[in-house]
Amino acid sequence: MRARYRAEGLSEGDLAPDPYGQFASWFADASASGLHEPNAMIVSTADGEGRPSSRTVLLKQYDERGFVFFTNYGSRKGRELDANPQASLLFPWHPIARQVIVAGTAERIGRDETAAYFRTRPHGSQLGAWASEQSSKVASRAELDRLYEELAARYPEGEDVPAPPQWGGFRIRAESVEFWQGRENRLHDRLRYVRTGGGAAGDWTVDRLCP
């Protein structure tokens, strides 16, 4: 199976001054295209011995400080990021022949920021964060459903649900961000921002990579 790409190209002159501005532009395009869950991204981590793992997670926030997602800190990705904070994010926007690849360092966000986001989640998702000890073994689906029903009785609809202490956000501070645009004859455009300065926003250079 082989797709043919005919999309318009991506040139250095098209780029925003920093990768977060460029990401905002492409994210708007992905959203406007009708693509299902454009904030879905593949998060890749590795444990302390370098063994990798990947999973799909939803991006919830981004700005010049980095890209934020939420998880149970006891999950596999949570444990791996605590042991080895290097991470990669991949936004696979295949229907519009684009990808964004982020490499950077993870850090936990503050509890106030986590609590503020948690309050915006649907009630059922709030209960789910309590019911699931993510990545741990569970005896059966019935057991998971029982835990959820107990929480639903304890926190009925309309009642405030506190953020679980073992649940929160990670922010990936980008060190490089690649924007990949599919082109004809497999001569894709790959432009990669690389951080060269410190501070929250940093300074960036742009490299063109061979496809």
**What CA–CA distance (Å, rounded) separates 27 from 60?**
12
Instruction: Give the C-alpha separation, 92 to 103, whole Å.
Output: 15
| Position 206, amino acid | V
CB 111 within 8 A of CB 94: no
Structure tokens, 88: 């990669």
- Tell me what the mean pLDDT of segment 113-142 comes to: 88
The residue type of 87 is A
Q: Tell me how far apart the alpha carbons of residues 134 and 78 are, in angstroms, rounded to a whole number.
A: 10
Each residue's pLDDT tens digit, 71-122: 999 999 999 999 999 999 999 999 999 999 999 999 999 999 999 999 999 9
pLDDT (0 to 100) of residue 159: 86
Short-list 178, 141, 189, 200, CA closest to 8: 189
The mean pLDDT of 11-40, rounded to a whole number, is: 96
**The predicted structure's pLDDT at residue 199:** 57
pLDDT digits (tens, 9 = 90+) for 155-193: 999 889 999 999 999 999 999 999 999 998 889 999 999
pTM above 0.85, yes or no: yes
User: 47-77, pLDDT tens digit by residue?
Assistant: 989 999 999 999 999 999 999 999 999 999 9
3 has pLDDT over 90 = no
Tell me: pLDDT of 6 over 80. no
pLDDT, averaged across the chain? 92
| Residue 15 vs residues 19, 23, 27, 193: alpha-carbon distances, Å | 8, 10, 14, 10
> Pick the catalytic residue: 186, 190, 195, 208?
186
Dihedral (Cα; 143, 144, 150, 151), 10-degree rounding: 160
Q: For residue 1, is pLDDT > 70?
A: no
Domains of the chain: 12-119+165-209 (2.30.110.10), 122-159 (no CATH)
As beta bridge partners, residue 19 has: none
Q: Which residue has the higher pLDDT, 56 or 140?
A: 56
Give the DSSP H/E element, type plus range, for residue 129.
Answer: helix 123-131
Q: Any catalytic annotation for residue 186?
A: yes
* CB-based contact 100:23 (threshold 8 Å): yes
Residue 166 to residues 29, 131, 133, Cα–Cα distance (Å): 35, 12, 9
Residue 200 has pLDDT above 80, yes or no: no
Q: Output the six-digit token pair for 137.
A: 């073994």
- Report yes or no: 147 and 109 within 8 Å, Cβ to Cβ: no
